[in-house]
Amino acid sequence: MDILTGFGNLGIAITKTHVEQMEKMVVHFLMRGTHPLTFNSAELGVNPIAFKTSDYNALFEVFDVHIKDVDATIRKIPAINRNFAVISDPFNLLSYWLVHLAPIYLKDKKVCYRFQFDVMKLATLRQFCSATNNAWRHGAQHSVILATIANLTLKSDIIRLESWNLLIDEHVEKILDPNDRFYKKIIAAEPDQEFLTVIGENQTAIRRKVVSYANTYYELHKAGESMKYTSAIAQNAEGEKILAQTASVVESSTTSMLTEILNPNMFVHDSSIRLVSNEFSLISDRVLKNALLRFNESAILQARTREFNRVNQDKDGVTYIGIRSLIFAMSGTLVRLCRTKAVSMGDKKMVFKTIRDALGSSRLNDPDIVAIKRSIGVIIDPYNITRNEPTKLTLRLAVLAYIYYRLIIKMKV
């Protein structure tokens, strides 16, 4: 028996309901617990990530097929060597089989690709979690991880893309490229050995990225490089040189804030909304809350794409289209303003007053503040929460003030 015959006998059919369920599985996995702290950053090993048994079993449950039936099928296919765990694993084989089946049942090319992407991403997330947890069995020291990031070259994929989520997305996109040899082998699903080779090579590729990162970490850990990093000079996305200690505060606070923004139950606080809206007479609590909920929806949609980090540059200056890029800029600007004005980051009331004054000043010509104010308009104006121009301008400031308020609470210095 070959793979086409054996897995074909499982009788799996793909519907639009399956497409929606796969999307939910991926989103819920990325949002769970401390996962956003890893997947929305370049850090590894600091915050726990886990692909649970329930995640594994869910794939079989969604397609109403029993693991034992898949395993029994695998045993009947001579080409599958059960001594090799990766290519004989029921989850891996089912995942690639679903990618193979998708064009047969999903005639809309965009829907088909979205389904294939989510299936392949879930499989890659499992591989990624396994590789990461094997590399850091007892967790990683945050200071050494920051040193690791600082020592990786610009050619490194994680430095280029800035987050593991985007790195995994790029990996999946390459697999699903119609012109790629891997994709052609998955769609053909024969001969058996070619299909199995794709599973093994893709797992090796994602593991190699984690292992390379881990090797740098352990070299620096052995050499005690974390202390050296804290007094070094780092460089932000705009090329501005800043103290690495400041870079650490900006990175950690950005990651923490993004974790909150991606979860509406964490991000939208009625007490915080009342406090901030009291600063702006033209808007109500309800209007601000509506804007924040829409902002949360935008962040969730962007977090699955490169849009999350997008920055535009034109004659007017920088515009942060991506919400992650905006929050990073807001964090960096906040720290810089406080250092410039000699405001203690520990005095949170004074920190909030400093940034509130900067946002509200019509005479301040700080290019970073100007860019942040322009960017929030690009993001929230399309929500059409209000058509009144003065109220619209006030709402932009209120949303920024709210995010800064939540950011200041989280910032550790």
Give the pLDDT score at 234. 40
- Specify whether 178 is located in the same domain as 261: no
- Specify whether 284 is located in the same domain as 225: no
Give the pLDDT score at 232. 35
What tokens does 148 get? 């690791």
- Specify whether 212 is located in the same domain as 308: no
Q: Give me the DSSP letters along 149-188.
A: HHHS-TTSHHHHH-SHHHHHHHHHHHHT-TTSHHHHHHHH
Q: Which domain holds residue 67?
A: 3-230
**Is 235 inside a domain boundary?**
no
The pTM of this model reads: 0.70
- Specify whether 250 is located in the same domain as 374: yes
Tens-digit pLDDT profile for residues 242-294 = 434 455 567 778 888 888 898 888 899 999 999 999 999 899 999 999 999 99
pLDDT at 227 exceeding the cut of 60 = no
Give the pLDDT score at 322. 92
State how far the Cα of 37 lies from the Cα of 336, in Å rounded to an integer.
23
- Specify whether 259 is located in the same domain as 159: no
**Is 362 inside a domain boundary?**
yes
Domain boundary among 199, 230, 261: 230
Domain boundary among 167, 196, 230: 230
Give the pLDDT score at 244. 42
**Is 144 inside a domain boundary?**
yes
**Is 97 inside a domain boundary?**
yes
> 326 with 258: CB under 8 angstroms?
no
What tokens does 77 get? 């296919």
Tens-digit pLDDT profile for residues 142-171 = 888 888 888 887 678 998 888 898 899 999
- Specify whether 28 is located in the same domain as 140: yes
Give the pLDDT score at 317. 81
Tens-digit pLDDT profile for residues 12-52 = 999 999 999 999 999 889 888 888 888 888 889 988 999 99
Give the pLDDT score at 341. 86
pLDDT at 202 exceeding the cut of 90 = yes
**Is 65 inside a domain boundary?**
yes
pLDDT at 225 exceeding the cut of 70 = no
Tens-digit pLDDT profile for residues 320-360 = 999 988 998 898 889 888 888 888 888 999 999 999 999 98
- Specify whether 211 is located in the same domain as 288: no
Mean pLDDT of the chain: 88
Question: How far is the first Cα of the chain from the last one, in angstroms, to the nearest whole number?
Answer: 63
- Specify whether 275 is located in the same domain as 219: no
Q: Could you tell me what percentage of the chain is helix, strand and coil, using 3-state DSSP and rounding each to the nearest 5?
A: 70, 5, 25
Task: Report how many domains make up the chain.
Answer: 2
- Specify whether 325 is located in the same domain as 273: yes
Left if phi > 0, otherwise alpha if psi is -120 to 50, otherwise beta: which for 197? Answer: alpha
- Specify whether 60 is located in the same domain as 194: yes
Would you place residue 233 in the very low, low, confident or very high pLDDT band (cuts 50, 70, 90)? very low
Tens-digit pLDDT profile for residues 104-146 = 999 999 999 999 999 999 999 999 999 999 999 989 998 888 8
State how far the Cα of 155 lies from the Cα of 309, in Å rounded to an integer.
18
**Is 236 inside a domain boundary?**
no
Residue that wins the pLDDT comparison between 342 and 103: 103
Q: Is 319 helix (H, G, I), strand (E, B) or coil?
A: strand
Would you place residue 377 in the very low, low, confident or very high pLDDT band (cuts 50, 70, 90)? very high
Task: Average the pLDDT over 162-188 and give the result.
Answer: 93
> 344 with 274: CB under 8 angstroms?
no
Domain boundary among 195, 230, 265: 230
State how far the Cα of 26 lies from the Cα of 404, in Å rounded to an integer.
29
Give the pLDDT score at 314. 81
- Specify whether 272 is located in the same domain as 135: no
Give the pLDDT score at 231. 35
- Specify whether 39 is located in the same domain as 143: yes
